[in-house]
Amino acid sequence: MATQAADFQTLSRRYTADKPFRAFIQKALGGYYNKRDENKANFQDWQGARDLAAETKYEAVNNLDTYLLEFEEKIVARGAKVFWAPNADAARDYILKVAKENNVRSIIKSKTMTSEEIHLNDALEKEGFGVFESDLGEYIVQLRKEAPFHLVFPAMHLTRGQISDLFQKELGSPATDEPEELTMIAREVMRRKYCEADMGISGTNFAVAETGMISITENEGNARLTTSLPKIHVALLGIEKILPKLEDLSLFLPMLATAGAGQTMTCYNTMYAGPRQPGEPDGPEQMHVVLLDNRRTELLADAEQRDALGCIRCGACLNVCPIFKNVGGYSYGTTYGGPIGSVITPHLRGLKDWKHLSAASSLCGACTEACPVKIDLHHHLLQNRRNGAQSSPNPFEKISFGGFSLMMGRPTLYRFAAGLGRIFQPLQGLVNGTILDPLRAWTGSRKFPTLSSTSFHDQWKKERGGRR
């Protein structure tokens, strides 16, 4: 078994056994469900909005080169630099180069999962740059030296007590259990950092081709400060973040807020069109936009699953996924977890090593139902399974299903096998739950049903005789 698949089994076993943790995660999502439903109900037609969003992203993704070029032309005309990074190395190297050439000492960051994907912080810190995460949740997990637990709510797995302990240990702050006081502690620390940082690195929620702007959605204001005060702004985004028109934001900003956070609009939604323009009183002298491929073009090439590039990283699929809710964000072992992560990771990091995430699902479809841009998530998991079975079949499965298909291909053989099952079932009863029990994966927590003494088929034949 590949390491990643084995790790997933180990981690998911650990987290599912932790019932208080599972209950905590469930509780954390409860408020979100109510507010999300309230906001969806405010729409005149949420399903109509999803249709339009899906069509808009279809247009964007299927004409990706055209829109990327339009975006670049417009934003470069205002003095921004656009760097096209074919892979993570190229993106990291470019950002390091910009930092070194400009004698940057201190870097402040706002939330960007793309930077997690390319392990940017590690690379910057290795070269001696101080990097501060300004988003409260990201700051907390940075201090704990952990990855974000959820792509929208990075610290949702932590209690206030754990956060208080963390701040006491790392910041020497007084003990407090109050979320308000803990937030103010972080606010005070960050204020100095905003004012002193030489470079601000942000993510991007949407890149608008028509007007050459990047749009950032947030609640705290840390992204606004990250992009206002330092003299250099680096904006990182996956190439798929493109939207054709400025007006598209009037649909996507409310949908992202509703699906992602259960809000009508998040507090700050800001469009940046370039570095400080002549006559403007503040803003960065330099703006660098880093467009990241990192195998997104491989997903693009898979026409069946191309719609997954329409993802707006709202996290709605994670929030409804019973797998995610029970195993938590860390079990996935990769940047993007939950249903969207399970769909795209085989494309971004290799099918052989990551197809197990597509297998670890009951295919309930709640994700597909929740997705604001109508990505066919749970069917893509099925497709990944098919692709995986074709390219690197598990020998045990291949043989078992071969046998299954042989048996089911001949109904008399199937009934003969079922008859044998009846004979051997009492033997299973003898070893039920023990190490010898072949069904112990089931019987550990659930009773296994007894085969009926006669099948429906035999009963019908007996009762209804010759009647077909």
Partner 1 sequence: MNGGRAIILGRIREALRNNPAPRPHTSHSQVDAAASQNGHAQRQWLPKVGATLPEQIALFAKISEGLKTEFHHVSTIAAAREVFAKLAAQGEWKKIASHAHHDTDALLEGTGISSIRTENGYVIDDLESCDVGVTGCEVLVAQTGGIMVSVESAGGRALSVLPPHHVVIARASQMVPDLTAAFEHVKKRYGKRFPSFMGFITGPSRTGDIERILVLGAHGPKRLTVLLVD
Partner 2 sequence: MRISLFVPCFVDQLYPNVAWSVVRVLEGLGHEVVFPEGQSCCGQPPFNSGYWDEARSSARVTMKAFRDADVVVGPSGSCVTMIKVFYPDLFKGEDDELEARELAAKTHEFSSFLVNVLGVTDVGAKFDGKVTFHDGCHGLRELGIKSEPRALLANVQGLELVEMSEAETCCGFGGTFAVKYAPISTAMDEVKCASILSTGADTVVSNDSSCLMQIRGMLEKEKSTVRSLHLAEILASK
- 429 binds partner 2, rule: CB under 8 A: no
Q: State in Å, rounded, how far the first CA of the chain is from the last one.
A: 47
Q: What is the DSSP string of 95-123?
A: HHHHHHHTT--EEEE---HHHHHTTHHHH
- 444 binds partner 2, rule: CB under 8 A: yes
Q: Binding string to partner 1 for residues 271 to 290, with x set by CB under 8 A, is what?
A: xxxxxxx--xxxx---x---
CA distance 186 to 174: 12
- 455 binds partner 2, rule: CB under 8 A: yes
Q: What's the length of the chain?
A: 468
CA distance 67 to 435: 59
| Nearer to partner 2 among residue 275 and residue 388 (C-beta) | 388
| Long-range Cβ pairs for the range 33-42 (8 Å, 24+) | 33/262, 33/319, 34/262, 35/261, 35/262, 35/263, 36/258, 36/259, 36/262, 36/316, 36/319, 38/262, 39/257, 39/258, 39/262, 39/263, 39/264, 40/258, 42/264
- List the one residue from 37, 51, 122, 397 that touches partner 1 (CB under 8 A): 51
Contact 339, 318 (CB under 8 A): yes
Q: Which does 11 bind (CB under 5 to 8 A by kind): partner 1, partner 2, none?
A: none
Chain residues 202-231 in contact with partner 1, contact rule CB under 8 A: 211, 213, 219-222, 224-225, 227-229
- List the one residue from 48, 411, 424, 436 that touches partner 2 (CB under 8 A): 411
- 451 binds partner 2, rule: CB under 8 A: yes
Binding range to partner 1, per CB under 8 A, among 168-176, 258-266, 382-390, 442-450: 258-266
- Whether the CA torsion 325, 329, 331, 333 is positive or negative: it is positive
* Shortest CB 196 distance to partner 1, Å: 9
CA distances from residue 91 to 86, 235, 468 in whole angstroms, order as listed? 8, 11, 68
Chain residues 343-372 in contact with partner 2, contact rule CB under 8 A: 359-366, 368-369
**Which pair of structure tokens corresponds to residue 379?**
């069917």
- 98 binds partner 1, rule: CB under 8 A: no
Number of residues that bind partner 2 (CB under 8 A): 68
| Nearer to partner 1 among residue 7 and residue 298 (C-beta) | 298
Q: Which residues bind partner 2 (CB under 8 A)?
A: 9, 12-13, 16-17, 19, 22, 26, 322-323, 326-327, 359-366, 368-369, 382, 384-390, 393, 397-398, 401-402, 404-411, 414, 418, 421, 439, 441-442, 444-452, 454-457, 459-461, 464, 467-468
